[in-house]
Amino acid sequence: MIASQIDTLATELDALVASASRVFSGLQAASADPSLARYAAALSGGSEQTAALERGVRLLHVYTRFGDAEGQAQACEALAKLCVVGVDDARRQAMLDHGVLASLVVVVRSERPEPLCAATELLAAVAGGSLDHRRAVLRCGVLSPLVGALRH
């Protein structure tokens, strides 16, 4: 009986993973089309970079919730690129407003090497903004697990 329940759960999980793969590949394909990217930006009420930021943070939340290490790393890397040096602090603030730090705490605590490296890069990019951004990073509770992970 337990074996059949496990098989059923495994089948449902496989279906969920396949569904998520179709959804996310569709999002990536849509972002390759410039007209769709402009349309998405218009819907979000901002620029293409703002739409990409919002999409990236949402994907990071989803990947974090499902424990997808590869997705977490890709989302963190993409978001870090949006925080390049010389960019105004509005993007960093938008990431904070969308709750990126909560997902980063979870990614850092997982101690998986690839997402940990990407999350560290994103944390540095966010903290590279104003004093308020650095304070937000300090207050979110990510530094203690980060230091612990780096010691291993």
Q: What is the pLDDT of residues 27-76, one digit of tens each?
A: 554 455 565 555 554 445 567 777 788 888 999 999 999 999 999 999 99
Confidence at residue 130, expressed as pLDDT on a 0 to 100 scale: 87
Confidence at residue 10, expressed as pLDDT on a 0 to 100 scale: 63
Interval 129-147: pLDDT, tens: 889 999 999 999 998 888 8
Interval 1-28: pLDDT, tens: 666 766 666 666 666 566 666 555 555 5
Query: d(Cα 131, Cα 133) in Å, to the nearest integer?
Result: 5
- pLDDT class for 121, splitting at 50, 70, 90? very high
Confidence at residue 30, expressed as pLDDT on a 0 to 100 scale: 47
Q: Are 56 and 79 in contact (CB under 8 A)?
A: yes
Task: Say if pTM beats, i.e. exceeds, 0.75.
Answer: no
Confidence at residue 42, expressed as pLDDT on a 0 to 100 scale: 47
Query: d(Cα 101, Cα 142) in Å, to the nearest integer?
Result: 8
Confidence at residue 136, expressed as pLDDT on a 0 to 100 scale: 92
Confidence at residue 105, expressed as pLDDT on a 0 to 100 scale: 93
DSSP one-letter string for 40-107: HHHHHTS-HHHHHHHHHHHHHHHHHHHT-HHHHHHHHHHHHHTT-TT--THHHHHHHHTTHHHHHHHH
